[in-house]
Amino acid sequence: MTSPQVISESVIEPGTGKAIELLQGQILRVEQIEGGQCADFNCFNLHDYKEFMHCGRTRTVHGFHPTKGSFMWSAPPRERAMLYILEDTVGRNDVLFPRCSAYVYEASYGFAVHTNCHDIQAEAQREYGLTPDDVHDSFNLFMCTGVDADGHAFMTRQTTKPGDHKGFQESNHQDRPPAAARSELYAGVPKYADRGHRAADPALGRGSRDVRGRQAHRHLWR
């Protein structure tokens, strides 16, 4: 196989997001530039916004940490494999935690105003006519989580390095519409997280604000 051709590449600064169209045969790579970052990821069918990735269905099929070889499923009544995880150098992702929001930061941590994944995601999706109500539960890339003995979910600091990455490909199932209609819309959003979540999590210490991480989205032809 020849090397994939790079179609586009962009750097996602902390606290920002970007919507990307991924057509059949293309690969989306999300890569760490400086390491130590998470990304909230949403995925919609480009031609039917009511079909989107469903974290509940996905974790039932692939567990709490879907990685290479897993599919990202949409909800019933469509319930189809939308994306395939082609590569994953870290093997850590999360489908337990919902996106953070302005309400969470205000109610739980006392920040009257705070950047949050819901608002970032809504802004990134807005150019496709989607509204804040359309943001769905996030697939949390690179995020390290678990469940304690009492059944509560927890998160721990992740230790990704520059160059760590994940690759996503449209799943190309035969029961789906033909090529041109099979494209999907992606919105990948880096969490403010190493800032927001760490600052907000009492267990990890409040007030740590060194935001240094960035991520790149690389868009490839296979």
Hey, which residues between 147 and 166 contact Zn ion (CB under 5 A)? Answer: none
Nearer to Zn ion, 95 or 117 (CB): 117
Least distance (Å) from Zn ion to the CB of residue 43? 17
Hey, which residues between 3 and 22 contact Zn ion (CB under 5 A)? Answer: none
Only one of the segments 29-37, 66-74, 111-119, 125-133 lies at the binding site for Zn ion (rule: CB under 5 A); that segment is 111-119
Q: What does each C-alpha distance from 202 to 61, 147, 157, 208 come to in angstroms? A: 32, 18, 13, 11
Residues in the chain: 222
Burial label, 77 (beta-carbon count in 10 A; 0-12, 13-18, 19+): exposed
Per the listing, tokens 């105003």 go with: 113
191 near Zn ion, rule: CB under 5 A: yes
For residue 85, the SS3 value is strand
Please check whether residue 46 is in contact with residue 74, taking contact to mean a CB–CB distance below 8 angstroms: no
Please check whether residue 82 is in contact with residue 53, taking contact to mean a CB–CB distance below 8 angstroms: yes
Least distance (Å) from Zn ion to the CB of residue 210? 17
Which pair of structure tokens corresponds to residue 114?
């705070």
Least distance (Å) from Zn ion to the CB of residue 18? 16
- Which residues is 140 bridged to in the sheet? 40, 94
For residue 197, the SS3 value is helix
199 near Zn ion, rule: CB under 5 A: no
Q: Residues touching Zn ion: how many (CB under 5 A)? A: 3
Q: Using CB under 5 A, pick the residue from 53, 95, 100, 120 that binds Zn ion.
A: 100
DSSP class of residue 122 equals: H
Nearer to Zn ion, 191 or 219 (CB): 191
Q: Using CB under 5 A, pick the residue from 117, 141, 144, 200 that binds Zn ion.
A: 117
Least distance (Å) from Zn ion to the CB of residue 116? 6
Nearer to Zn ion, 40 or 88 (CB): 40
187 near Zn ion, rule: CB under 5 A: no
Chain residues binding Zn ion by CB under 5 A are: 100, 117, 191
